[in-house]
Amino acid sequence: MDYENKLVLAPMVRVGTLPFRLLAADYGADITYSEEIIDHKMIKCERKVNEHIGSTDFVEKGTNNIVFRTCSQERDRVVFQMGTSDAVRALKAAQIVCKDVAAVDINMGCPKSFSVSGGMGAALLTKPDLIHDILTTLRRNIDTPVTCKIRLLKSSSETVELARRIEKTGVSALAVHGRKVPDRPRDPAKWNEIADVVSALSIPVIANGDVFEYDDFERIKVATGASSVMAARGALWNASIFSPKGKAHWEDVKREYVRKSILWDNDVKSTKHTLKEMIVHYSCLELPEGKAVIKSENLADLAKVYGEEEYYRSVSNNRFSLNGQSDMNHCTKELRQTE
């Protein structure tokens, strides 16, 4: 995994599922992070090859709950981001998925209560010994590159000190969000403090914070000296931010996202959440489009909202044909075994 001069899709809860990662990659993202997956969930999963849609699914045992879905098309660029507070559990989860992803990343920056209350995310920033334990355990036991993503600490010197400790664990790269835990998204990202981390380390640093246009990738790279740059909200609002040709119209981006969600049978709640985030940025949920998305109960409903009924039928018919062929092959195999 090369971390030099890369455009990176940030991990985003309920957004960074397979269709959105592929959408970002189509527009030019070199590395795409999954949404944060909690280790407790992952260790309950078994790996299943989904021949009907061409994906590899990690499904919670005893249920149909797909915790993580990936595919061969993204094998060399997808980063599995994990929420954890325990080295042994982190390793167990990583070993389940590591052969199907390009890297494993530990979330050390999420300030949300659901993450921090479990000792994960930003809660790890004050536990350098635990950070060392988690990262060194992963590095010693899996061949897949290991990275982590942090936020700024109270002072630049504290951030640099932690970053140096992280570097010593042997991680392949470090992503730094240029905000502190109490900061809100409206607070400007502190690019100068990311620059302090970059100048102190020899491993690649991925800069994150206030990247909303394609030109911002170069601006933050020059300002910080970072090896690569990560976009979150800018990519959520319009995934074509990664395109050097300029942004596509947001209506076209939404429609392509819906098509990918249909193709990869994405969870409808995840698809609706992402669409609502896009709509709120450019428009309003109280208008007909927003109301229709909210009322949608499945991907077929969303296909109608965006005029993709024919595409939905085509994908469904093709899937049905494949299922029928699979059942026929299975029956033929059983007949041969009984002869």
Q: Which of 45, 98, 110, 148 is catalytic?
A: 110
Give me the mean pLDDT over the 177-191 stretch. Answer: 95
**What is the enclosing helix (H) or strand (E) of 32?**
strand 31-33
Residues 6+ apart with CB under 8 A from 77: 25, 29, 30, 31, 32, 102
Which tens digit of pLDDT belongs to each residue from 141-157? Answer: 999 999 999 999 999 99
pLDDT band for position 322 (cuts 50, 70, 90): low
45 assigned to active site? no
User: Would you call 171 helix, strand, or coil by DSSP?
Assistant: coil
DSSP secondary structure string for all residues of 134-152: HHHHHHHH-SS-EEEEEEE
Helices 250-263 and 309-338, axial angle in degrees (round to 10): 20
* Percentage of the chain modeled with pLDDT above 70: 95
Which tens digit of pLDDT belongs to each residue from 80-104? Answer: 999 999 999 999 999 999 999 999 9
Which tens digit of pLDDT belongs to each residue from 196-237? Answer: 999 999 999 999 999 999 999 999 999 999 999 999 999 999
Residue 327 in this model has a pLDDT that exceeds 50: no
pLDDT band for position 324 (cuts 50, 70, 90): low
pTM of the model: 0.93
Cβ of 223: how many Cβ atoms within 10 Å? 16
Give me the mean pLDDT over the 249-278 stretch. Answer: 98
Is 339 or 53 the better-scoring residue by pLDDT? 53
Q: What does the pLDDT read at residue 107?
A: 97
For the chain, what is the radius of gyration of the CA atoms?
21
Q: What is the mean pLDDT of the chain?
A: 94
Residue 150: phi and psi, rounded to 5, are -125, 170
**What is the enclosing helix (H) or strand (E) of 178?**
strand 173-180
Q: What does the pLDDT read at residue 320?
A: 74
Q: Which residue has the tokens 């990918």?
A: 260
Which tens digit of pLDDT belongs to each residue from 273-305? Answer: 999 999 999 999 999 999 999 999 999 999 999
Residues 6+ apart with CB under 8 A from 100: 47, 56, 70, 75
Q: Which residue has the tokens 């029956």?
A: 331
**What distance in Å separates the CA atoms of residue 221 and residue 209, rounded to the nearest whole number?**
11
Q: What does the pLDDT read at residue 114?
A: 75
Q: Of 111, 109, 118, nearest to 38 (Cα)?
A: 118
